[in-house]
Protein backbone atom coordinates (compact mmCIF):
# COMPACT_ATOMS: atom_id res chain seq x y z
CA UNK A 1 0.00 0.00 0.00
CA UNK A 2 2.80 2.43 0.90
CA UNK A 3 4.67 1.57 -2.28
CA UNK A 4 1.59 2.38 -4.33
CA UNK A 5 1.24 5.85 -2.76
CA UNK A 6 4.89 6.65 -3.41
CA UNK A 7 4.55 5.69 -7.06
CA UNK A 8 1.46 7.88 -7.44
CA UNK A 9 3.23 10.89 -5.93
CA UNK A 10 6.01 10.50 -8.48
CA UNK A 11 3.67 10.19 -11.44
CA UNK A 12 3.86 12.81 -14.29
CA UNK A 13 0.40 14.13 -13.45
CA UNK A 14 1.27 14.93 -9.85
CA UNK A 15 4.55 16.58 -10.86
CA UNK A 16 2.80 18.85 -13.40
CA UNK A 17 0.24 19.94 -10.84
CA UNK A 18 2.99 20.93 -8.42
CA UNK A 19 4.78 23.00 -11.09
CA UNK A 20 1.59 24.85 -11.99
CA UNK A 21 0.98 25.60 -8.33
CA UNK A 22 4.53 26.97 -7.91
CA UNK A 23 4.13 29.27 -10.93
CA UNK A 24 0.93 30.70 -9.50
CA UNK A 25 2.71 31.58 -6.27
CA UNK A 26 5.57 33.47 -7.99
CA UNK A 27 5.08 37.29 -7.88
CA UNK A 28 4.97 39.33 -11.12
CA UNK A 29 7.71 41.97 -11.08
CA UNK A 30 7.10 43.75 -14.40
CA UNK A 31 5.18 43.57 -17.63
CA UNK A 32 6.64 44.74 -20.92
CA UNK A 33 4.17 46.52 -23.15
CA UNK A 34 4.37 48.19 -26.53
CA UNK A 35 5.09 51.93 -26.15
CA UNK A 36 2.10 54.14 -26.85
CA UNK A 37 2.15 56.79 -29.57
CA UNK A 38 2.46 60.50 -28.90
CA UNK A 39 -0.87 61.78 -30.22
CA UNK A 40 0.27 65.30 -30.97
CA UNK A 41 3.52 64.29 -32.65
CA UNK A 42 1.83 61.58 -34.68
CA UNK A 43 -1.00 63.88 -35.76
CA UNK A 44 1.48 66.51 -36.87
CA UNK A 45 3.31 63.85 -38.89
CA UNK A 46 0.13 62.60 -40.52
CA UNK A 47 -0.98 66.12 -41.41
CA UNK A 48 2.54 66.89 -42.69
CA UNK A 49 2.79 70.15 -40.77
CA UNK A 50 6.01 72.11 -40.68
CA UNK A 51 8.05 71.65 -37.51
CA UNK A 52 7.10 74.18 -34.83
CA UNK A 53 9.72 76.85 -34.27
CA UNK A 54 11.03 76.42 -30.72
CA UNK A 55 13.00 79.68 -30.69
CA UNK A 56 10.22 81.49 -28.81
CA UNK A 57 9.98 78.80 -26.15
CA UNK A 58 13.75 78.84 -25.64
CA UNK A 59 13.77 82.62 -25.42
CA UNK A 60 10.97 82.62 -22.87
CA UNK A 61 12.76 80.05 -20.74
CA UNK A 62 16.01 82.02 -20.91
CA UNK A 63 14.28 85.28 -20.01
CA UNK A 64 12.42 83.68 -17.11
CA UNK A 65 15.64 82.31 -15.70
CA UNK A 66 17.25 85.76 -15.52
CA UNK A 67 14.24 87.95 -14.67
CA UNK A 68 14.68 90.00 -11.50
CA UNK A 69 12.33 89.43 -8.59
CA UNK A 70 10.63 92.49 -7.07
CA UNK A 71 8.81 92.28 -3.75
CA UNK A 72 6.38 95.19 -3.98
CA UNK A 73 5.07 96.59 -0.72
CA UNK A 74 1.72 98.34 -0.25
CA UNK A 75 3.10 101.71 -1.36
CA UNK A 76 4.66 100.19 -4.48
CA UNK A 77 1.41 98.47 -5.46
CA UNK A 78 -0.56 101.65 -4.80
CA UNK A 79 1.73 103.67 -7.08
CA UNK A 80 1.84 100.98 -9.78
CA UNK A 81 -1.93 100.58 -9.93
CA UNK A 82 -2.45 104.35 -9.88
CA UNK A 83 -0.13 104.87 -12.85
CA UNK A 84 -1.68 101.94 -14.73
CA UNK A 85 -5.19 103.28 -14.16
CA UNK A 86 -4.10 106.76 -15.27
CA UNK A 87 -2.75 105.33 -18.54
CA UNK A 88 -5.94 103.33 -19.08
CA UNK A 89 -8.06 106.42 -18.47
CA UNK A 90 -6.00 108.46 -20.94
CA UNK A 91 -6.13 105.81 -23.66
CA UNK A 92 -9.52 104.19 -23.15
CA UNK A 93 -7.84 100.79 -22.84
CA UNK A 94 -8.62 98.24 -20.15
CA UNK A 95 -6.36 95.75 -18.43
CA UNK A 96 -7.79 92.89 -16.38
CA UNK A 97 -4.47 92.27 -14.63
CA UNK A 98 -3.16 93.90 -11.47
CA UNK A 99 0.17 95.11 -10.14
CA UNK A 100 3.12 95.61 -12.46
CA UNK A 101 1.66 93.12 -14.91
CA UNK A 102 -1.23 95.52 -15.44
CA UNK A 103 1.18 98.37 -16.19
CA UNK A 104 3.15 96.34 -18.73
CA UNK A 105 -0.02 94.96 -20.29
CA UNK A 106 -1.49 98.45 -20.71
CA UNK A 107 1.66 99.88 -22.27
CA UNK A 108 1.94 96.86 -24.56
CA UNK A 109 -1.58 97.52 -25.84
CA UNK A 110 -0.66 101.17 -26.36
CA UNK A 111 2.40 100.24 -28.41
CA UNK A 112 0.29 98.07 -30.71
CA UNK A 113 -2.65 100.45 -31.11
CA UNK A 114 -1.00 103.88 -31.43
CA UNK A 115 1.94 105.25 -33.39
CA UNK A 116 5.10 106.50 -31.67
CA UNK A 117 4.11 110.17 -31.40
CA UNK A 118 0.65 109.34 -30.08
CA UNK A 119 2.11 106.98 -27.49
CA UNK A 120 4.37 109.74 -26.17
CA UNK A 121 1.54 112.28 -26.01
CA UNK A 122 -0.76 109.86 -24.20
CA UNK A 123 1.86 109.11 -21.55
CA UNK A 124 2.41 112.84 -20.94
CA UNK A 125 -1.36 113.30 -20.72
CA UNK A 126 -1.61 110.48 -18.17
CA UNK A 127 1.21 111.95 -16.06
CA UNK A 128 -0.39 115.41 -16.16
CA UNK A 129 -3.68 113.98 -14.93
CA UNK A 130 -2.00 111.81 -12.29
CA UNK A 131 -0.26 114.73 -10.55
CA UNK A 132 -2.33 117.82 -9.63
CA UNK A 133 -1.25 120.93 -11.52
CA UNK A 134 -0.98 122.89 -8.27
CA UNK A 135 1.75 120.55 -7.03
CA UNK A 136 3.61 120.73 -10.34
CA UNK A 137 3.53 124.54 -10.31
CA UNK A 138 4.69 124.59 -6.69
CA UNK A 139 7.66 122.33 -7.43
CA UNK A 140 8.63 124.42 -10.42
CA UNK A 141 8.47 127.63 -8.38
CA UNK A 142 10.18 126.42 -5.21
CA UNK A 143 12.88 124.41 -6.99
CA UNK A 144 14.38 126.49 -9.79
CA UNK A 145 17.33 125.22 -11.81
CA UNK A 146 20.33 124.88 -9.47
CA UNK A 147 22.83 122.34 -8.18
CA UNK A 148 20.62 121.71 -5.15
CA UNK A 149 17.58 121.07 -7.37
CA UNK A 150 19.43 118.70 -9.69
CA UNK A 151 20.81 116.70 -6.78
CA UNK A 152 17.43 116.76 -5.04
CA UNK A 153 15.69 115.37 -8.14
CA UNK A 154 18.30 112.60 -8.36
CA UNK A 155 17.97 111.62 -4.71
CA UNK A 156 14.15 111.80 -4.83
CA UNK A 157 14.04 109.51 -7.87
CA UNK A 158 16.16 106.79 -6.26
CA UNK A 159 14.00 106.75 -3.13
CA UNK A 160 10.47 107.06 -4.51
CA UNK A 161 10.59 105.49 -7.97
CA UNK A 162 12.18 102.11 -7.32
CA UNK A 163 8.73 100.56 -7.86
CA UNK A 164 8.81 101.76 -11.47
CA UNK A 165 12.41 101.31 -12.63
CA UNK A 166 13.93 99.04 -10.00
CA UNK A 167 16.90 99.64 -7.65
CA UNK A 168 19.03 102.67 -8.47
CA UNK A 169 21.77 104.83 -7.00
CA UNK A 170 23.01 108.41 -7.23
CA UNK A 171 26.22 109.02 -9.15
CA UNK A 172 28.35 112.03 -9.92
CA UNK A 173 28.94 113.77 -13.21
CA UNK A 174 30.68 116.92 -14.33
CA UNK A 175 28.39 119.93 -14.69
CA UNK A 176 29.77 123.34 -15.70
CA UNK A 177 33.26 122.36 -14.61
CA UNK A 178 32.36 120.92 -11.21
CA UNK A 179 31.25 117.58 -9.84
CA UNK A 180 27.59 117.10 -8.94
CA UNK A 181 25.50 114.18 -7.73
CA UNK A 182 22.91 114.70 -10.43
CA UNK A 183 22.84 111.26 -12.08
CA UNK A 184 20.52 108.38 -11.28
CA UNK A 185 21.98 105.03 -12.31
CA UNK A 186 19.34 102.32 -12.69
CA UNK A 187 21.09 98.97 -12.40
CA UNK A 188 18.52 97.04 -14.43
CA UNK A 189 15.41 98.86 -15.56
CA UNK A 190 12.34 96.99 -14.43
CA UNK A 191 10.15 98.32 -17.22
CA UNK A 192 12.64 97.45 -19.96
CA UNK A 193 13.20 94.01 -18.49
CA UNK A 194 9.49 93.26 -18.21
CA UNK A 195 8.52 94.68 -21.61
CA UNK A 196 11.59 93.38 -23.47
CA UNK A 197 10.95 96.00 -26.12
CA UNK A 198 13.19 98.86 -27.21
CA UNK A 199 10.26 100.68 -28.81
CA UNK A 200 8.25 100.62 -25.58
CA UNK A 201 11.27 101.92 -23.67
CA UNK A 202 11.72 104.82 -26.10
CA UNK A 203 8.10 105.83 -26.72
CA UNK A 204 6.48 104.96 -23.39
CA UNK A 205 9.26 105.90 -20.97
CA UNK A 206 12.29 107.83 -22.24
CA UNK A 207 10.75 110.39 -24.60
CA UNK A 208 7.56 111.22 -22.64
CA UNK A 209 9.42 111.32 -19.30
CA UNK A 210 11.99 113.76 -20.68
CA UNK A 211 9.22 115.96 -22.07
CA UNK A 212 7.10 115.84 -18.90
CA UNK A 213 9.94 116.63 -16.49
CA UNK A 214 11.10 119.50 -18.72
CA UNK A 215 7.71 121.06 -19.43
CA UNK A 216 5.94 120.43 -16.12
CA UNK A 217 8.82 120.63 -13.62
CA UNK A 218 11.22 122.91 -15.49
CA UNK A 219 14.10 120.42 -15.24
CA UNK A 220 16.07 119.17 -18.23
CA UNK A 221 16.89 115.48 -18.10
CA UNK A 222 18.62 113.12 -20.48
CA UNK A 223 17.72 109.46 -20.13
CA UNK A 224 20.41 107.16 -21.54
CA UNK A 225 19.32 103.51 -21.66
CA UNK A 226 21.87 100.76 -22.17
CA UNK A 227 20.09 98.05 -24.13
CA UNK A 228 22.91 95.55 -23.63
CA UNK A 229 22.61 95.20 -19.85
CA UNK A 230 19.24 97.00 -19.45
CA UNK A 231 20.72 99.68 -17.21
CA UNK A 232 19.87 103.35 -17.59
CA UNK A 233 21.22 106.76 -16.58
CA UNK A 234 19.04 109.78 -15.85
CA UNK A 235 21.21 112.90 -16.04
CA UNK A 236 19.38 115.86 -14.51
CA UNK A 237 20.27 119.27 -15.89
CA UNK A 238 21.40 117.89 -19.25
CA UNK A 239 19.34 118.43 -22.39
CA UNK A 240 18.74 115.25 -24.41
CA UNK A 241 20.24 115.14 -27.91
CA UNK A 242 18.10 115.79 -30.95
CA UNK A 243 16.13 112.82 -32.22
CA UNK A 244 18.41 112.45 -35.24
CA UNK A 245 21.50 112.33 -33.01
CA UNK A 246 20.17 110.22 -30.12
CA UNK A 247 21.87 106.77 -30.18
CA UNK A 248 18.94 105.24 -28.29
CA UNK A 249 16.59 105.98 -31.18
CA UNK A 250 18.84 104.07 -33.58
CA UNK A 251 18.87 100.89 -31.51
CA UNK A 252 17.28 97.81 -33.15
CA UNK A 253 14.74 95.95 -31.10
CA UNK A 254 15.36 92.71 -29.21
CA UNK A 255 14.79 89.34 -30.83
CA UNK A 256 12.43 88.58 -27.97
CA UNK A 257 9.97 91.01 -29.52
CA UNK A 258 9.28 88.26 -32.05
CA UNK A 259 7.92 85.98 -29.33
CA UNK A 260 4.33 87.02 -29.99
CA UNK A 261 4.71 86.21 -33.69
CA UNK A 262 6.30 82.85 -32.94
CA UNK A 263 3.61 81.96 -30.42
CA UNK A 264 0.90 82.98 -32.90
CA UNK A 265 2.40 80.63 -35.48
CA UNK A 266 2.52 77.89 -32.88
CA UNK A 267 -1.14 78.41 -31.98
CA UNK A 268 -2.14 78.36 -35.63
CA UNK A 269 -0.36 75.07 -36.17
CA UNK A 270 -1.75 73.45 -33.05
CA UNK A 271 -5.17 74.81 -33.93
CA UNK A 272 -5.21 72.45 -36.89
CA UNK A 273 -5.34 69.57 -34.44
CA UNK A 274 -8.92 70.55 -33.49
CA UNK A 275 -9.10 67.82 -30.86
CA UNK A 276 -7.07 64.94 -29.53
CA UNK A 277 -7.40 62.16 -32.13
CA UNK A 278 -8.69 58.73 -31.27
CA UNK A 279 -6.49 55.66 -31.43
CA UNK A 280 -8.30 54.41 -34.53
CA UNK A 281 -7.41 57.60 -36.44
CA UNK A 282 -3.72 57.06 -35.81
CA UNK A 283 -3.61 53.38 -36.76
Mean predicted confidence (pLDDT) in 112-139: 94
Residue that wins the pLDDT comparison between 64 and 109: 109
Residue 271 has pLDDT above 60, yes or no: no
Confidence grade of residue 66 (pLDDT, cut at 50, 70, 90): low
pLDDT score for 275: 43
Q: Using the CB atoms, write b or e for 188-206: b if 16+ within 10 Å.
A: bbbbbbbbbbbebbbbbbb
Contact present, 67 and 107 (Cβ < 8 Å): no
pLDDT score for 68: 79
Residue 46 has pLDDT above 90, yes or no: no
Per-domain residue ranges of the chain: 71-266
**The most confident of 13-27, 82-96, 264-278, by mean pLDDT:** 82-96
**Residues belonging to the chain:** 283
- Residue 142's SS3 state is helix
| Secondary element (H or E) of residue 3 | helix 2-9
**The most confident of 25-34, 60-69, 247-256, 269-278, by mean pLDDT:** 247-256
pLDDT score for 69: 86
Amino acid sequence: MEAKLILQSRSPTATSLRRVEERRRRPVHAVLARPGKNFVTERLRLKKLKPVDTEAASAIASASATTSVHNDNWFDLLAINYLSESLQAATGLKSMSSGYESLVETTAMMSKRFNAKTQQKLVVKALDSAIPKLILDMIRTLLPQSQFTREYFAAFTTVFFAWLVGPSEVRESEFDGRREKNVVYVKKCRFLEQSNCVGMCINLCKMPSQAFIKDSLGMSVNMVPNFDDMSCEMIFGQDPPASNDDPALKQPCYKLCNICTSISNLVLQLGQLNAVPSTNELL
